[in-house]
Structure 1
Amino acid sequence: MKLLRWILFPISALYGGLMSFRNHLYNIGKKPQVEFDRTVISVGNLSMGGTGKTPMVEYLIRLLQKDYRLATLSRGYGRKTRGYRMASETDTAETMGDEPYQYYRKFGTNISVCVGEERVIAIPSALMEKEDIEVFLLDDAYQHRKVARDFNILLSDFNHPFYEDYILPTGELRESRSGAKRADCVIITKSPETIDEQERREIKVNVKVYLGEKPVFFSRIIYDEPKPVFKEQLGELIKGSTVLLLTAIADNKMFKTEVERNYSIKQEFVFQDHHGFTAKDLDGLLTYLQTQKEEIKIVTTEKDMVRLLTLAEHPLFKKTTAFYIPIRFELEEEEKFTSRLFKVLEQKKNLN
């Protein structure tokens, strides 16, 4: 691995230099940022993915939806449409992307869910449809600097912190570690239930090398009870059941570990992140299940679930029941975090 890193290092150095120069142009104002009169909150990371952006956005929605008219704005990665789009009843994961459609299924009656590659165009487009939007939640927008933001949240995986990583392709960072200084806070995600205080202090010290004196928070993922993918498929997933694991996310290790705690995994079907499931994919699962004598249920993630919905009529779901496991974001020192966030929201409101 060390040899490969040395081989790839010149490419990483070139890419890192280009990203640093781009950021420098924004920092000195040579590349302009557009500031909007609505509050803009960004959730992102320095790495390629898998840090928990989706549950963080959902956490913010639950926190703010009673007091503010919200809109989420994502690029809509993996969708089959292009340009700006606001979710409606006719949309699916194919037209919106899996994460935005997940937001719409959960919160669509209370918030606006939008996608658009160019966020600087998507925000005024959304306001033309719903001028009463007060807060935009930008999903995976840390490197998208055309839009000025009022609160910049940087996520970093507890098991793979940015300060131990390297720039692409040597590592998984989209830009250098110094990019963390643009954040208003860093949230360490996927933390274990208990963290040794010495380890906690070491993590904070390592983050603050790049972040300065801005706060560092710790969070964890909470798994809820499994639910059927299709409402028509009644029943429950009994602990100890034999299951087939179906995932297409950036890193399924944590999810797999959680499933293994409660069920017996007979087989895994793993696809690349954001994979759009097809009938042919499900044919493979069906063929496997037909060779098994015991009853085997399917277990998948919530993000993968939304991409299965258009395949409800596939014979696989006559053969067995598919379940997904919802997740929630639990934040330590929540009062300290919310106090900072609501202060920003109030300051923006007073400016307008």
Structure 2
Amino acid sequence: MQLLRKIAFPFSLLYAIVVYLRNLCYDTGLFNSKTFDTPTVCIGNLSTGGSGKTPMIEWVLKHLNQNKSIAVLSRGYKRQSQGFLFVNPDMSPEAAGDEPLQIATKFPNTVVAVDPNRQSGIKILEEQVIPDLILLDDAYQHRKVKATFYVLLTAYSQLYTRDWYLPTGNLRDHKNQAKRANVIIVTKCPAQLSEEEQNEVIRSLAPQPEQQVLFCTLAYKEKVIGVNETLSLESLKTREVILVTAIANPEPLLQYLRSKGIRYDHRKFPDHHYFTEKEKSEFNKAPVILTTEKDFTRMGGKVDNAYYLGVEHRFLNDGKEKFIGQLNSL
């Protein structure tokens, strides 16, 4: 795979030029971006995934002013339905998309919708829901909408400044588009990241004077949740565990499980993979299937011995207060 990526370097140069020119057309006004009356917060990244966008959406929903009426608009990546759709917990992941369904299930009082056309989706939400705030999930590259506030995520182990463009690297957008962010959040940091190490990251990112750089780490839960029961993570030490992941970057999870003394046989699938009936049948033969919440959602309750380990972002220093203060001011 690494050899193929190196061979593809000329194509990555062409890709970089194309995304640069596309953004230039928007930056100079040659292409139009639409603004809306409802405040919109775009949460996204410059890479192909693995920065923790869905957990950040959930973090915002959990911590933002509860007096605000918030709607979430997502593309619904790889869903089999078309056009605009309100998502409810009774839908299948194939119809709603795995991440929107996960959010709708965890936050039943929040309106969650999917639409590949963000302009159209926002317009429908404004007409039918009238929310105080709209969270745009993974819309950083969707330049047809100009958001009120931009949150750019970048993983500590794969900063966008140290990455390269597809297909040689993982960047799907030009590095210079970090300039549009109001806040840059470095995710998946070590829990004990020193001030010196934080400053080194900030120097690498070279933010604009008005941009804030915040840091957060992943906080895993102590229990795993299954279809019919909840178990302590500790109890898995003595059991035969098959770990199933279909996410962009499972390495933080693997490291955490190893640190807890959990032994596992890892079955890795492509990001957003929808498990076939045959695969689900095979999973049901295993003593314990351990997976992520997103993957658990895609199993659709058809793997009786499956459990997911929940995770959330935890801000370092006073990042939580700074971030919430910015969002509540919109």
CA contact (8 A) 1:239 1:262 kept: no
AA partner of residue 306 (structure 2): A
Deviation at 1:311, TM superposition (A): 2.0
Q: Matched residues in 2 for 1:248 and 1:270: separation?
A: 6
CA contact (8 A) 2:39 2:134 kept: yes
Q: Matched residues in 2 for 1:248 and 1:28: separation?
A: 39
2:148 matched to which residue of 1?
150
Q: Matched residues in 2 for 1:3 and 1:285: separation?
A: 33
1:227 matched to which residue of 2?
224
Structure 1: runs of 5+ lacking an equivalent: 290-295, 346-352
1:300 matched to which residue of 2?
291
Q: Matched residues in 2 for 1:2 and 1:284: separation?
A: 31
Deviation at 1:2, TM superposition (A): 8.7
Higher mean C-alpha deviation, range 257-266 or range 15-24:
257-266
Alignment of 1:180-219 (within 5 A): 180-208=178-206, 211-219=208-216
Deviation at 1:16, TM superposition (A): 1.0
* Cα-to-partner distance string for 1:301-332 (whole Å, 9 max, x where unaligned): 111111112525xxxx2xxx321111111113
CA contact (8 A) 2:237 2:263 kept: no
Q: Matched residues in 2 for 1:206 and 1:266: separation?
A: 36
* Cα-to-partner distance string for 1:223-247 (whole Å, 9 max, x where unaligned): 11333331x3465551523211111
AA partner of residue 34 (structure 1): K
TM-score by length of 1: 0.87
Q: Matched residues in 1 for 2:50 and 2:87: separation?
A: 24
Q: What is the total number of aligned residue pairs between the two structures?
A: 326
CA 1:43/1:282 → structure 2, altered by over 3 Å: closer, same or farther? Answer: same
2:265 aligned to which of 255, 264, 267: 267
2:83 matched to which residue of 1?
83
Deviation at 1:50, TM superposition (A): 0.5
Q: Matched residues in 2 for 1:286 and 1:85: separation?
A: 32
Higher mean C-alpha deviation, range 192-201 or range 27-36:
192-201
Residue 322 of structure 1 pairs with residue 306 of structure 2? yes
CA 1:246/1:5 → structure 2, altered by over 3 Å: closer, same or farther? Answer: closer
1:112 matched to which residue of 2?
111
Residue 20 of structure 1 pairs with residue 20 of structure 2? yes
Q: Cα RMSD over matched residues?
A: 2.0
1:98 matched to which residue of 2?
98
Q: Matched residues in 1 for 2:126 and 2:184: separation?
A: 29
* Cα-to-partner distance string for 1:199-237 (whole Å, 9 max, x where unaligned): 2111101112x545411100011111333331x346555
Structure 2: runs of 5+ lacking an equivalent: none
2:274 matched to which residue of 1?
276
Does the residue aligned with 1:274 lie in a helix, a strand or coil? coil
Does the residue aligned with 1:311 lie in a helix, a strand or coil? coil
Q: Matched residues in 2 for 1:130 and 1:168: separation?
A: 38
CA contact (8 A) 1:245 1:265 kept: no
Residue 341 of structure 1 pairs with residue 307 of structure 2? no
Deviation at 1:127, TM superposition (A): 2.6
Q: Matched residues in 2 for 1:250 and 1:87: separation?
A: 24
1:309 matched to which residue of 2?
300
Higher mean C-alpha deviation, range 43-52 or range 1-10:
1-10
Could you say which structure has the larger radius of gyration? 1
2:124 matched to which residue of 1?
125
* Cα-to-partner distance string for 1:42-81 (whole Å, 9 max, x where unaligned): 0000110000101111111112250210111111012110
The alignment-based identity, stated in percent, is 35
Residue 33 of structure 1 pairs with residue 19 of structure 2? no
Q: Matched residues in 2 for 1:176 and 1:221: separation?
A: 26
CA contact (8 A) 2:42 2:138 kept: yes
Q: Matched residues in 2 for 1:241 and 1:211: separation?
A: 51
1:292 matched to which residue of 2?
none
Deviation at 1:10, TM superposition (A): 2.1
CA contact (8 A) 1:229 1:309 kept: no
Q: Matched residues in 2 for 1:30 and 1:310: separation?
A: 48
CA 1:141/1:234 → structure 2, altered by over 3 Å: closer, same or farther? Answer: closer
Q: Matched residues in 2 for 1:263 and 1:97: separation?
A: 33
Q: Matched residues in 1 for 2:230 and 2:223: separation?
A: 12
AA partner of residue 14 (structure 1): L
AA partner of residue 324 (structure 2): T
Residue 176 of structure 1 pairs with residue 174 of structure 2? yes
Q: Matched residues in 1 for 2:3 and 2:230: separation?
A: 53
Q: Matched residues in 2 for 1:241 and 1:178: separation?
A: 49
CA contact (8 A) 2:151 2:182 kept: yes
CA contact (8 A) 2:73 2:135 kept: yes
Higher mean C-alpha deviation, range 45-54 or range 80-89:
80-89
Does the residue aligned with 1:324 lie in a helix, a strand or coil? strand
